[in-house]
Structure 1
């Protein structure tokens, strides 16, 4: 299946200040879901102790956010294709702020995990609308480039958030982290209301009737290459989510780093992810996206295997875990931006629904895989290294199957 004919809105012609404002606003909105996860990371051990929970139960507050994002996107996606991008986004931002307030007063770990699920459902609106808005305005290599630029924000969030969270914990407790997310959500809602224009004209909107939505979902689910690309994104994201969910326990409890030291390690590895995402536009201007993804996956897999070997031999201490994991994140920065670019290129007139399926599989896979680390154990780097390796092995196998479809070579190099 080749890409659908491009149908563009007038807003896609925005240039100069309009373009800069659009990119900056989309970047700020893109930061909300990762901020909701990463600002909270240094507080996980504190949450566990304060609410008298186990490590695996505490990790459910992280997993619930991811699963909520996955399920919520399946609802928001077709809704945004029917009513436009702005209404679901604004409702989601306000719901996210409300969930943050409730998380701040959660009495036990079970309630907190349920509220994090609600927070994930509301954050799904942000994820879907941002991706669909990019697809409304851009296509092909241009879309891959702007997604890579957006990865700058996705990478900056984990650079800044754990450090900011660690500093906040010097003056408040984990409940104050959620109060901070409440303020951020309200500010972003105001910014979106004032400055984000609607990108989906009425003539391009689709029916929201259940039969029409089901038919559209079935059409996408029958596109094997799309599903393979979505699963590649999900498995690659699972490696990232496993690292995010377990790293605070591995480095703080396992290696004895302080909250501030962990924030530094996490930030350095996030910079490596950022470097990979920013190198990606240069590579895809010379090579097809699928080639870049296959090469990056192979290098990342070798780094993950080295982390397993070092963990088995108890070699290198925290550096023996942090360095190879940083290389893995560097290579993932060249896979994650290209997955949605290739997948959404195939379904431009159903951008919201396609982004929903893509996001659901990505967040859902990550949410299901990440708890495996907690189930195996988080006192050493070995379980995390094994899960990351397994995820990259499966993603690599799917990449090689996907590469047999000649349509995936349409983007990148000198072809678009």
Structure 2
């Protein structure tokens, strides 16, 4: 049954936050459980990181599907279908007896998560515009900023009262609950649905992929995101096995994540005074120099410096990465306003795919030292910087 009136703004913001948080929670809540998963399923050390990488591969594919789908069949059905795929994927993970089955479930989870994650943004755009939309998105993103800080601690706490399989079941319940909330309270926001045409879809995709500035900054953004995810993929092994901090892992991870949150808020102020591409170039240049300097110091002090020194080096690196994330996608879409919805889906998919590949390369190279992480920062940063400085990437 279709609701007859729109929920008020506070309720809508809460509903949208639950739906959009699906993907973030699916990453960060799971991090403390990676060791238990690897132990129970007999997984070699670095292969456990596929639990994170597979989610992003599914997300990259799902974003291309659910954006156009929501224009054709409506926002509500697209979100519900995505939530259903996510829930089924979560149940497959919860019942998995082999690592391969677990990864298959994560791929399905990632593809399904694209529905609530991407289509909810379109739903917000349908309901609000201009300053009102900016305020709603600011509130939601303000909540989002705290997810990487708090979610690992939540996952660590949940592991005290349930096995790792219970985390997948709980996430499925949360996602389905958000979809039911939407069905009960939010009317459909598209009154005139658009017929999906393959030819038009392909033409728009080709236009995005051949727009050089858009692709340069999209791939650069994917590399920077991949550098971050390479660290996140390795973080459970790094903190709990290399530095042997035990349950303090969630606290230390959250403290480091705060620097990304602060950078995001800082960037919101910087873009009022400086060009977005200039901020990205300077931040990435600083990341390269900082990472190379720290690796040089490790060559003198040893491959594994004290934990406090690693944190002192990693937190500024995360801050510099955090300065870029709000800018890359906005720059990529500057010249694609006439196909903004589809362009956003394509660029998000490319960015996610590049990030997943880069993160996998960094994570699978983890060797109980800090070199793969900081080399990942430096190499991904260097390629991203070259892309941003190409003549075709300039305004």
Q: 2:328 aligns with which of 324, 332, 339?
A: 339
> Is contact 2:50-2:103 (8 Å) kept?
yes
Q: How far, CA to CA, are the matches of 1:109 and 1:74 in structure 2?
A: 27
Partner of 1:47: 37
Tell me the TM-score normalised to structure 2 length: 0.89
Q: Does 1:363 align with 2:313?
A: no
Partner of 1:9: none
Matched residue, 1:216: 204
**Superposition RMSD on alpha carbons, in Å?**
2.7
Q: Does 1:350 pair with 2:339?
A: yes
Q: Does 1:87 align with 2:74?
A: no
1:295 counterpart = 2:282: yes
Q: Is the 8 A contact 2:212 2:393 kept in 1?
A: no
Number of residue pairs matched by the alignment: 388
Could you tell me how far apart the structure 1 residues matched to 2:139 and 2:284 are? 20
Mapped partners of 2:337, 2:130: distance in 1: 10
CA displacement, residues 106-141 of structure 1 (integer Å, 9 cap, x when unaligned) = 111111011111111101223322444456678899
In the alignment, which residue of structure 1 is the partner of 2:213? Answer: 225
TM-score w.r.t. structure 1 length?
A: 0.84
1:172 equivalent to 2:152? Answer no
Which residue is 2:60 aligned to? 70
Whole-Å separation in 1 of the counterparts to 2:385 and 2:40: 41
1:286 aligns with 2:276: no
Report the Cα distance in structure 1 between the residues aligned to 2:328 and 2:134, rounded to whole angstroms. Answer: 9
**What are the superposed Cα offsets for residues 72-100 of structure 1, whole Å, 9 maximum, x if unpaired?**
11222222233333321221122212221
Confirm or deny that 1:275 pairs with 2:262: yes
2:98 corresponds to 1:108? yes
Partner of 1:411: none
Aligned to 2:381: 392
CA contact (8 A) 1:67 1:120 kept: yes
Counterparts of 2:205 and 2:17, CA distance in 1: 28
Partner of 2:226: 238
Partner of residue 35 from structure 1, selected from 25, 38, 55: 25
Contact 2:218 2:332 survives alignment (8 Å): yes
Residue in structure 2 matched with residue 263 of structure 1 by the alignment: 250
Verify the 8 A CA contact 2:225 2:355 in the aligned structure 1.
Answer: yes
Higher relative contact order (CA 8 A, sep 6+): 1
Q: Say whether the 8 Å CA contact 1:151–1:274 is kept in structure 2.
A: no
Q: Find the aligned partners of 1:350 and 1:18 in 2 and give their Cα distance.
A: 30
CA distance in 1, matches of 2:56, 2:391: 26
Structure 2: give runs of 5+ residues left out of the alignment.
1-5
Match of 1:251 in 2: 239
- More displaced stretch, 74-83 vs 190-199: 190-199
CA distance in 1, matches of 2:88, 2:36: 23
2:150 is aligned with 1:160 = yes
After superposition, the Cα gap between the structure-2 partners of 1:154 and 1:381, relative to the gap in structure 1 and judged at 3 Å, is: farther
Q: Which runs of 5+ in 1 are unaligned?
A: 1-13, 407-416
2:219 match: secondary structure: helix
Classify 1:195/1:294 alpha carbon distance in 2 versus 1 (closer, same or farther; 3 Å).
Answer: farther
In 2, distance between residues paired with 1:336 and 1:250?
24
- Measured in 2, the distance between the counterparts of 1:256 and 1:300 equals 27
Question: Using the alignment, how far apart are the partners of 1:51 and 1:29 within structure 2?
Answer: 30
